[in-house]
Structure 1
Amino acid sequence: MRRVADIAIAAGLLALTLAVAPLAATGAAARPAGTQATPKAAAGKPGDKLLVEADELIYDNDKNTVTARGNAELHYGPRTLQADSVRYDRASSRVFAEGNVRLTDQDGAVVTGDRMELTDDFKNGFIDSLRIQQTVEQKGETVRTRFSAPRAERVNGDQTSFDYGTYTACEPCKERPEVPPLWQVRAAKIIHDNVTHTISFEESTLELAGIPVAYLPYFEAADPTVKRKTGFLTPRFISSTALGSGVAVPFFFNLAPNYDLTLSPAFLSRQGVLGQAEFRHRLETGSYSLRLSGIFQTTPSAFLPGPLGAGDRDFRGSIESKGRFYINDRWRTGWDLVGVTDKWFLDNYRIRNQTITTDYFREAVSTGYLIGQGDRSWFEARGYYFKGLSSFDWQKEQPIVAPVIDYDKRINGPAPLGGEVRFEANLTSLTREATDFQGLPRSGSYLFSPSYNGISYPLYETCSAFNRASCLVRGLAGTDTRASAMLSWRRSFIDPSGQVFTPFAYLRTDAFFVNPSLSGYQNALVPTIANVHDGFSGRVMPAVGLDYRYPFVGEFGNLGVHTLEPIAQIVARPSETRIGRLPNEDAQSLVFDDTSLFEWDKFSGYDRVEGGVRANLGGQYSVVTPAGWYANVLFGESIQVAGVNSFRRGDLANVGLESGLETRRSDFVGRFQVSPNQNISFISRARFDQADFKVNRFEAGVTARFAPFLPLSVSAFYSYYEAQPLLGFSHRREGITATATYNITPNWFVTGSALVDLTHYLDTRDLYADAFRSYLSNPVGIAPIYQNPGRFYLSGMSFGGGYQDECTTVSLNYIVSPIATAIGVRERNQTVLLRVELKTLGEADLRQNVGTVSTADGISAVR
């Protein structure tokens, strides 16, 4: 039976200073561990008690030692020493622990060894066959680091020196512990300083699976417990045709606990030194950051000359800033700002392009905001500046939007109305230097018109004079200000049979002030836009309506709960006025599907307002089973009962036309979704022509995780959109996007994704791109374009694989990403990305462009 001795002493950390009254003149004596003794005071921390657990305590007065033998366990404060035997020599004040020795520090670090020789406060000493395991949190993960050495020395309890030691974050193989870990650093001397929290390596070698791959005579790194420490970060290697080969060497300055500075000079063989600096500052109420980048190019000819590139610039750079501040628990403010010397800089020098998702980074948006949130209210004020980063963007067509103010408040309706009263308000003001025209496609052309500096080229109709048959106006030059307010009420009533009646009413008012600009290129076309109001104008839209639902619910045991719900909605209001005579900036995105079928107003923004008497009819059927099966089907249509159909008369951007709502009886819309369990989900939605039930719009997608039966997760989405010539799409659009990840083993995986365009006419884009470039060099004429229809085109893709465990992540990916797809140019970036992370030690990635570099991103084809 295990005995326990609780002996109070005033000793140092984990001291075993036990002085007892002589039991005999000579010789040794053994006593049960619970035997009381009279200790002698010793230097230590007052009030601390030592708890000793062992099978027996042995007092040797001749040798002046005390030994705890048999499953010895000593507790002193937050530290614990365990061993087969622990002997304390009172004369030398040394502690000797032997056999399965295990010391746990106050921070949770575990030190193990065959034998330890320590001072009585455990601050100094030698350890044979040392092994240390330390657990830390890093990037939201639990990481365990391990030191080992045949012999080590502890100095002052704050520093441990390992002779011929190793360091790794990899767990040893349970079946074969003698096998070297995946990676480890082997050094002649390793010094771990717990005061400075650094680990230094002398004469070190990085080993992968026991094979030496890199040698450094000396290097130092922060230990895993450190979140912020001044020093070099992992270098980043760079290689591209335009930049050459190079390396970025970031250096981090931990200036204070709440602010820091990172300098990241990148040394490029073709362009010189790219300077980058980032300053971050956290305050009591928020934080902000500032990042600067700049370079004086040594080889500007690597990039296209203006106006298609920045090859005529010596200095190029950018400035970025982000701020977030909390005024109080309800109000916050902040900003996101981006400024560049030219539209190609961020892409050419891979600023922000650290992951695959940012390869599509084609626009920089700057905004400042003030947001307030109450219990049932919302306020937001913003300003926007848009910087187009494509060669085909003309900055004069981009608006400056300031301010955009939104307010939303909900309250309980007053008696006797009850229900909910909601007030919404919006104020938007924007300015644009040049009118944004888009020529509609000529017969046989594809997608949007290629343009440069606002000119639509002869693949499409030109807008030398505005004509609704050939031109759309995406935005007017000048100033456009609109103030809108809407007051609404609704309340639901349920009768004894379960019918749900929801009457509602709203009053919408809009005030416009339009001051079009008539100066500058192509703004002279503005007066030819039919009957556009100049100056102040207003609009009022009152409405009343009723929403009716009658759910029939039935429970069928294991077959689940089935619900059949017919839905009818009627909205009565006067006809919309001034259609096409007011700008439309924020309501150009109109998608009629199941999500908008029962909306009171189906327009996406405030610049348009739906009018007339309209009935929305439909129904849905759903099933929920005890096993977790869920299915839902919805089908319906919208009918213009009286008044002017807002969707039949297009505005300056033809919004409403070819939407499925332009006829008295709309297209049919439907939705079907099913989830057999929480791992598999399928959803599809479609719009069918009212006359012949032809599919005008169809989307379907599935996501599935097959674990634990199969370590595979997939997602796939298919989209089909019928041609909409009046909106700029002369041919149908059809495509598939899919992703999949398969875990070959718990550590090895392969992954891939693809974006496939199934449109027949897509292969003509190469010809259009060549013709467009020919036109830029010779605007007098353009060669005839012949169609070369294809079946499909792989627009973007990636595939790769990797390895991941508790200490290492390695991935290799081949990425193909589209460039300037909005204008139909068949050009792509092809990139190989290698990323290696040795947890707690550092990470590195290498990105290499391969194949022919496109000229659409401002890079010259001349080498």
Structure 2
Amino acid sequence: MPNLRRDGAGTAGAGMGRVVRRAAGIAVTGSLTVLLAAALAGGLPAARAQGTLADRLSAGSGKKAGGERLLVEAKELVYDNDRNTVSAVGNAELHYGPRTLLADRVRYDRNTGRVFAEGNVRLTDETGAVVTGDRMELTDDFKTGFIDSLRIQQTIEPRGRPARVRFSAPRAERVEGQTTTFEYGTYTACEPCKDHPERPPLWQVKAARIIHNNEERRIYYEDSTLEVAGVPVAYLPYFYSPDPSVRRDTGFLAPHFVSSNVLGSGVGVPFFWNIAPDYDLTVEPTFLSRQGVLGQAEWRQRLANGFYNLRVSGIYQETPSAFLTGPLGPGNRNFRGSVESAGQFYLGQNWRTGWDVVGVTDKWFLDNYRIRSQTITTDYFREAVSTAYLIGQGDRSWFEARAYYFKGLSTYDWQKQQPIVAPVIDYDKRRDGPAPLGGEVRFQFNFQNLTRDATQYQEIPRTRTYLVSPSLNGIAFPLYSTCSVFQRGQCLVSGLAGVDTRATAQVSWRRTFTDEFGQQWQPFAYLRGDAFFVDPSRTSYQNNEITNLFSPDTDFSGRVMPAVGLEYRYPFVADFGPLGVHTVSPIVQVIARPSETHIGRLPNEDAQSLVFDDTSLFEWDKFSGYDRVEGGVRANIGAEYAITTRNGFYVNAMFGESIALAGVNSFRRGDIANVGRDSGLETTRSDFVTRLQVSPNQNISFITRARFDDATFALKRLESGVTAKLSPFLPLEASLIYARYEAQPELGYDRRREGVQAAAVYSITPNWFVSGSVLVDLSHYLQVRELYADAAQAYFLNPVGTAPIYEKPSKFYLSSSSLGFGYRDECTTVSLNYISSPIETAAGLRERNQTFLLRLELRTLGEANFRQNLTTTSTTDGIATVR
């Protein structure tokens, strides 16, 4: 044990003077820890410093109230008997429960029970927050006290993203470890500049007083100013924000701003009410100078087995005349609104049910008032999809029952042509095959019931007759419609009016054998049955264009499709060392089955999307849905070639075709929607399909798919794309996709479709970035647009006074584009984007929606968005005035 040295006039027995204990080496640190712990706890009187150490530390004298022990490490311990203090000098480190105090010097006054820390003071509390300062005066449990030159750094994870927030003040008071009051304090989530720490952060809040209440988990600001790069930009006399670790707290959220010639200028102020841990309410009034007050409210609740929400929006318009009158717009409506709801509940380990629905007063409301809705599918074919479902999932089984309602949001959508599907049921069960067959047995079932008020049809463009007008620079007008009565080869029917019900059941078996030479043989068989019930008379609206296809009476039909087949693969594998592992696999598949029946005499609702490429070459049934079934004897032939190297280089190539051997080719005889025609499968020998994928490494991938004519090898279909992430060599992430589809006149596409889409994000610096995207239509299309033209009236009589006018072809058309730049770091994100997109490409229109979007996020404080539409004259969204 190191020697003890006495300072002062008295003796140790008199309890006077100053006793210093020096640490002679690391070996005595433990003894010093316990000694000072006992002294601070009052268990070691200074007058008995010469006693036996074992006696002095008996009975756990170092324990504090509550059973916690104070542990101390320091270079030197100083006992001042005159002042009744104990000091730890030199790299002092004190641990009390979850709290740790570090300083150059720590002095404990046993008279007042106060702890004084000086020099590089650093206090870490139970939350992980780090408090630093020049000097601290604390209670002996480190929970309460005063701090000079205070700085607090706290790591939090709001919404799962770790972040650090910082407080600072020349002086602060800490009470019971729960409330810290900063006098003339600052708050920010920005890291200080490494090279110039004296510079102000990118943003910070300065306030006369900042009160951080850990119990309430709120931060209060009094007489506050928001500074950006040291420049004051906003002043608030008083506000509060939730602690950054809080995800839900009652209060106002960040406002959003509106500027539009139709709506006027306005601001939306959302208020969030955290009613209980399991439910809350958000109310947002948006004050619009031209239309009044738009009210929005959202209720959310989480239950023991699921969740649901309900959102309502509505407004009594002050200026309805800003919109077109019906049927082209909502100008005859005073009240407009919407109702949305979503929910999901777990009924057990394997079952869940839910819904996602939307209802609107008119098809333009969500767009006009810029209300985001997850039910809207895309910006190009605008429709809101409502659905309710029941899903069950086992280890090798799947059940799903759904109902759908489709709401068309385009000006030119006719709601009577939108189907109501209730229900559509799918069941899929797999199990091991019985002995001695083995393999796998699969059972599939599908049921669909669909109703529609009006038949949805279109005429094939090549059947139209046009008149070219010299007075309008060669613009062509269609003279008449050929679909006044349905005729095959002239009309396409994508949806039938009335009731369409179908039930399908299929059982299949397959098993794979591998012989001693490595050849793989997979025999398979399946049996499928379909039952159709069609009643075109059960509808409230009759459009007579299609009555000659089905009789008005109820029509029952059925079909059965058995099939047997064999698939053969023989992979050849060779290892060329550094050149990689090469694999060549010839593939042959033969399927024997009878011809398809009732082709073109049955509805086709779910099998209209037929794409013949490498992904569908070896499918047993190449139709995308159940309304069609592939028949006839067919052979599918192909080969795959792959290279895999040790450094991650990968190549995969495939080539193949399909051959109709016997029976009726299902793809040659098109149905009422002509599905199968112009698909590449309608001839005896199909088009060739190919695939090439090249990935030099995990950051770059190139893939292309193509279809070539079997006789001339002319290109029929091409999809090619590359994605690249070039960092750290080049801070660029980019993608490029090119597609080209030859004309399919029998499907309604009488001209080639061609386009390219590109997108990229380039990081100029680690913080600054620029982004952009472009979609270019390279087709030499006749662009279509609706005009109010007197000349058109000479050729057409139209109830709404409009006529489609067909312009001369153009070389290319910029379909959509965006350009933006921004800044992002650990505390701030700001971006400005310009977005230009067609309002309605489905109708071939040229009107554009051009928007500037400014987004600012101050992390832990909130975000704000400002959207400004550029002036355009468009009638496609029901707006009658210039925006």
Give the TM-score range, shorter chain.
over 0.9
**Which residue matches 1:253?**
273
1:767-817 CA deviation, whole Å, 9 max, x = no partner? 789799979984599879564221111100101011110000001100012
Q: 1:641 to 1:132 in 2, by over 3 A?
A: same
Correspondence 1:618 to 2:638: yes
**Which residue matches 1:239?**
259
Amino acid at match of 2:667: F
- Mapped partners of 1:32, 1:846: distance in 2: 75
Correspondence 1:396 to 2:416: yes
Correspondence 1:828 to 2:848: yes
**Which residue matches 1:765?**
784
- Mapped partners of 2:408, 2:53: distance in 1: 80
Q: 1:355 to 1:292 in 2, by over 3 A?
A: closer
Q: 2:360 aligns with which of 332, 336, 340?
A: 340
Q: 1:32 to 1:839 in 2, by over 3 A?
A: farther
**Which residue matches 1:318?**
338
- Mapped partners of 1:295, 1:32: distance in 2: 85
Q: 1:478 to 1:786 in 2, by over 3 A?
A: closer
Q: 1:848 aligns with which of 844, 868, 872?
A: 868
Correspondence 1:148 to 2:172: no
**Which residue matches 2:473?**
none
**Which residue matches 1:412?**
432
Q: 1:714 to 1:545 in 2, by over 3 A?
A: same
Q: 1:565 to 1:738 in 2, by over 3 A?
A: same
Q: 1:35 to 1:347 in 2, by over 3 A?
A: farther
Correspondence 1:725 to 2:749: no
- Whether the aligned pair in 2 keeps the contact of 1:379 and 1:405 (CA below 8 Å) is yes
Correspondence 1:438 to 2:471: no
Give 1:517 deviation, angstroms: 2.3
Give 1:90 deviation, angstroms: 1.2
Amino acid at match of 1:590: L
Q: 2:44 aligns with which of 17, 20, 31?
A: 20
Once the two structures are superposed, the pairs formed by residues 496-535 of structure 1 within 5 Å of their partners are: 496-517=516-537, 523-529=543-549, 534-535=554-555
- Whether the aligned pair in 2 keeps the contact of 1:518 and 1:526 (CA below 8 Å) is no
Q: 2:690 aligns with which of 670, 678, 689?
A: 670
**Which residue matches 1:567?**
587
- Whether the aligned pair in 2 keeps the contact of 1:491 and 1:502 (CA below 8 Å) is yes
Give 1:460 deviation, angstroms: 7.5
Q: 1:489 to 1:226 in 2, by over 3 A?
A: same
**Which residue matches 1:208?**
228
**Which residue matches 1:586?**
606
**Which residue matches 1:135?**
155
**Which residue matches 1:555?**
575
Correspondence 1:299 to 2:323: no
Farther-moved stretch of structure 1 (737-746 vs 133-142): 133-142
Correspondence 1:609 to 2:633: no
- Mapped partners of 2:381, 2:90: distance in 1: 67
Correspondence 1:54 to 2:74: yes
Once the two structures are superposed, the pairs formed by residues 113-132 of structure 1 within 5 Å of their partners are: 113-132=133-152
Correspondence 1:331 to 2:315: no
- Mapped partners of 1:67, 1:468: distance in 2: 101
- Mapped partners of 1:714, 1:597: distance in 2: 30
Correspondence 1:695 to 2:752: no
- Mapped partners of 2:374, 2:428: distance in 1: 38
Correspondence 1:480 to 2:515: no
Amino acid at match of 1:205: T
Give 1:648 deviation, angstroms: 0.6
1:44-103 CA deviation, whole Å, 9 max, x = no partner? 533111111111211111011000111111101000011010001111221110000000
Percent identity between matched residues is 68
Per the alignment, in what secondary structure is the counterpart of residue 366 of structure 2?
A: helix
Give 1:7 deviation, angstroms: 3.5
Give 1:751 deviation, angstroms: 0.4
- Mapped partners of 1:649, 1:257: distance in 2: 61
Give 1:147 deviation, angstroms: 0.3
- Mapped partners of 2:309, 2:859: distance in 1: 27
- Whether the aligned pair in 2 keeps the contact of 1:54 and 1:72 (CA below 8 Å) is yes
- Mapped partners of 1:663, 1:223: distance in 2: 69
**Which residue matches 2:469?**
none
Q: 1:751 aligns with which of 771, 783, 790?
A: 771
- Mapped partners of 1:711, 1:113: distance in 2: 40
Number of residue pairs the alignment of both structures matches? 845
Farther-moved stretch of structure 1 (39-48 vs 185-194): 39-48
Structure 1, unmatched stretches of 5+, are 447-456
- Mapped partners of 2:281, 2:688: distance in 1: 58
Give 1:40 deviation, angstroms: 11
Amino acid at match of 1:711: P
**Which residue matches 1:375?**
395
- Whether the aligned pair in 1 keeps the contact of 2:37 and 2:62 (CA below 8 Å) is yes
- Whether the aligned pair in 1 keeps the contact of 2:589 and 2:636 (CA below 8 Å) is yes
Per the alignment, in what secondary structure is the counterpart of residue 23 of structure 1?
A: helix
Amino acid at match of 2:44: V
- Mapped partners of 1:319, 1:296: distance in 2: 15
- Mapped partners of 1:623, 1:42: distance in 2: 70
Give 1:31 deviation, angstroms: 12
TM-score using structure 2 length: 0.92
1:264-299 CA deviation, whole Å, 9 max, x = no partner? 111111111111000000011000000011110111
- Mapped partners of 2:882, 2:482: distance in 1: 33
Per the alignment, in what secondary structure is the counterpart of residue 139 of structure 1?
A: helix
Correspondence 1:636 to 2:656: yes
Per the alignment, in what secondary structure is the counterpart of residue 619 of structure 1?
A: strand
- Mapped partners of 2:65, 2:465: distance in 1: 87
Q: 1:8 to 1:321 in 2, by over 3 A?
A: farther
Amino acid at match of 1:700: S
Per the alignment, in what secondary structure is the counterpart of residue 697 of structure 1?
A: strand
**Which residue matches 2:14?**
none
Give 1:733 deviation, angstroms: 0.4
Amino acid at match of 1:301: S
Per the alignment, in what secondary structure is the counterpart of residue 822 of structure 1?
A: coil
1:230-255 CA deviation, whole Å, 9 max, x = no partner? 11111111112211111111111111
Amino acid at match of 1:503: P
Per the alignment, in what secondary structure is the counterpart of residue 547 of structure 2?
A: helix
Q: 2:296 aligns with which of 276, 280, 283?
A: 276
- Mapped partners of 2:804, 2:344: distance in 1: 54
**Which residue matches 2:4?**
none
**Which residue matches 1:452?**
none
- Whether the aligned pair in 2 keeps the contact of 1:32 and 1:56 (CA below 8 Å) is no
Correspondence 1:536 to 2:556: yes
- Mapped partners of 1:370, 1:518: distance in 2: 28
Amino acid at match of 2:768: W
- Whether the aligned pair in 2 keeps the contact of 1:735 and 1:757 (CA below 8 Å) is yes
Per the alignment, in what secondary structure is the counterpart of residue 823 of structure 1?
A: coil
- Whether the aligned pair in 2 keeps the contact of 1:10 and 1:46 (CA below 8 Å) is no
Per the alignment, in what secondary structure is the counterpart of residue 636 of structure 1?
A: strand
- Mapped partners of 2:558, 2:725: distance in 1: 54
Once the two structures are superposed, the pairs formed by residues 795-834 of structure 1 within 5 Å of their partners are: 795-834=815-854
- Mapped partners of 2:346, 2:407: distance in 1: 28
Farther-moved stretch of structure 1 (601-610 vs 348-357): 348-357
- Mapped partners of 1:518, 1:196: distance in 2: 62
Correspondence 1:423 to 2:439: no
- Mapped partners of 2:381, 2:202: distance in 1: 36
Q: 1:486 to 1:106 in 2, by over 3 A?
A: same
- Mapped partners of 2:512, 2:109: distance in 1: 85
Farther-moved stretch of structure 1 (845-854 vs 294-303): 845-854
TM-score using structure 1 length: 0.94
**Which residue matches 1:454?**
none
- Mapped partners of 1:304, 1:214: distance in 2: 40
Once the two structures are superposed, the pairs formed by residues 186-197 of structure 1 within 5 Å of their partners are: 186-197=206-217
Correspondence 1:217 to 2:241: no
